[in-house]
Amino acid sequence: MIDVLVVDDDFMVARIHCGFVERIEGFRVVGTASTGEEAVAAVDELRPDLVLLDLYLPDMFGLDVVTRLRAARHDCDVLVISAAREAEAVRRAVRYGAVNYLLKPFGFDELRTRLEQYAARRNSPRVSMVSDQADVDRVLSRTGSHIATSALPRGLSAETAELVERALREINGTLSAAECANRVGISRVSARRYLEHFSGTGRAEVTLRYGAAGRPERRYCWVG
């Protein structure tokens, strides 16, 4: 069970977010806070695994809360939920170690997707040593910010990578590049590049389907 602290200065919004979290299997709300000082105190007392953190708090900027938590040696993860649309706010959130950044207002499905992604990374088998670059990429994908989509090759975007990942997660079975392209709304060539990236970093598996003639079809499934 992943314990969550919800931090928002609007008690009605906080109540809605708490309701969302409680509907997601494997998560539970252990407390709420409406100011930065309350958030720091709540983390001290409740020791949550994850903080859903609004940036616009009445007494301090949300990322200053993160600074306080790290100074106190708390290692809880932080998922930013904010109406702040400035690119610099997103970049700062990444630098401060946010596992994701979700724009307000959002629906239940948007939060569920991100929390399930977080849970999958958090519960993935850990390695104590890395033997090659693929191991490094796998470690980064499990512990780093999902916003950054670790080690994306030049020409690939985090936004499209997230859509391709979602398509792989939602399918019961495997996807070809053409099928993925249709689901996401991109070209087959582009879909193939994202799928091969996920395969190369250990987050997708490739199987070959042989037909009557021609080259075998490469099919992909998400492994996390």
pLDDT at 170: 86
Q: What is the pLDDT of residues 157-187, one digit of tens each?
A: 777 888 898 889 888 889 999 999 999 889 9
Q: Report d(CA 75, CA 198) in Å as an integer.
A: 28
- Counting DSSP H helices and E strands in the chain, the numbers are 9, 8
Q: What is the pLDDT of residues 101-143, one digit of tens each?
A: 888 888 898 899 889 888 887 776 555 565 665 555 555 555 4
pLDDT at 148: 44
Q: What is the pLDDT of residues 182-198, one digit of tens each?
A: 998 899 999 999 998 88
Q: Which strand ranges, in their side-by-side order, compose the sheet holding 217-222?
A: 175-176, 217-222, 204-209
For 2-123, CATH gives 3.40.50.2300
Q: Which residue has the higher pLDDT, 32 or 185?
A: 32
Across 9-26, average pLDDT: 94
φ, ψ of residue 101 in degrees (nearest 5): -140, 115
Does residue 80 register a pLDDT over 90?
yes
Across 94-102, average pLDDT: 86
pLDDT at 158: 77
Q: Report d(CA 116, CA 41) in Å as an integer.
A: 27
CATH 3.40.50.1860 assigned to 133-222: no
Q: Report d(CA 145, CA 118) in Å as an integer.
A: 10
Candidates 3, 66, 12; CA nearest to 39 is 66
pLDDT at 150: 44
pLDDT at 214: 67
Candidates 98, 125, 126; CA nearest to 114 is 98
Q: Which residue has the higher pLDDT, 74 or 200?
A: 74
pLDDT at 64: 92
| CA-to-CA dists, residue 209 to 214, 217, 223, angstroms | 11, 5, 18
Q: Report d(CA 121, CA 26) in Å as an integer.
A: 13
Q: Taking the domains of the chain in order of start, what are their residue ranges?
A: 2-123, 133-222
> Is residue 117 a contact partner of residue 101, using CB atoms and an 8 Å limit?
no
Same topology, domains 2-123 and 133-222? Answer is no
Candidates 137, 211, 204, 129; CA nearest to 164 is 204
Does residue 147 register a pLDDT over 60?
no
With 0-12 / 13-18 / 19 or more C-beta atoms within 10 angstroms meaning exposed / middle / buried, residue 97 is: middle
Q: Report d(CA 104, CA 130) in Å as an integer.
A: 38
Q: What is the pLDDT of residues 43-70, one digit of tens each?
A: 999 999 999 999 999 999 998 999 999 9
pLDDT at 181: 92
| CA-to-CA dists, residue 148 to 18, 60, 117, 220, angstroms | 26, 25, 14, 22
User: Out of 2-16, 110-124, 139-153, which region has the weakest mean confidence (pLDDT)?
Assistant: 139-153
Q: Report d(CA 53, CA 65) in Å as an integer.
A: 9
Q: What is the pLDDT of residues 207-222, one digit of tens each?
A: 988 876 667 889 999 8
pLDDT at 121: 77
3-class DSSP state for residue 174? coil
